[in-house]
Structure 1
């Protein structure tokens, strides 16, 4: 049982190491941007990764995330990973 847990944890660490984010950049008072990419997740997975990161960022501020713009690129197999650029606002929770 413990070996199975360790193998699962190791696989998760390897996959997460291949995912990256530019971090959140503030564009305006409550408007932010981030770029997410991953060699392993594909275009939709990268978009979901970006949404999750934006949501977590706003929740950490005690606010609610709202997408105001997004762009995705498919990348090129082996050469360039897919990317998602997400612009979002952190609105007051209500």
Structure 2
């Protein structure tokens, strides 16, 4: 999973929205995020951060296993990202 600084994620993810995380298999989840005012990179950063935040609430780390993007047109049709992920145990 790409590593982004928290400040960069926050800057890119502003004004973005996402649907609730959905369980699609026993240990696999789906997150869909979009933004009217940020490009594909901002939406992707927001989705990565939200997936990891969701897993961290369970004491785990997100591992992205698949993604799809739609470019959209900024201000007209928002770009979207769909992430499928698993929550792995944190190894110490």
TM-score for the superposition, normalised by structure 1: 0.77
Partner of 1:52: 49
Superposition deviation, residue 77 in structure 1: 3.7
Structure 1: gaps (5+ residues): 1-14
Q: Runs in 1 of length 4+ with deviation above 3 angstroms?
A: none
Partner of 1:85: 82
Give, in whole Å, the separation in 2 of the partners of 1:77 and 1:89: 30
Superposition deviation, residue 40 in structure 1: 1.6
Correspondences of 1:1-80 after superposition (within 5 Å): 16=14, 18-80=15-77
Report the structure, 1 or 2, having the larger helix content: 1
Partner of 1:12: none
Question: Aligned with 1:41: secondary structure?
Answer: coil
CA RMSD of aligned residues (A): 1.7
Superposition deviation, residue 78 in structure 1: 3.1
State the aligned residue count.
80
Question: Aligned with 2:25: secondary structure?
Answer: coil
Structure 2: gaps (5+ residues): 1-12
Contact 2:39 2:74 in 1 (8 A): no
The structure with more radius of gyration: 1
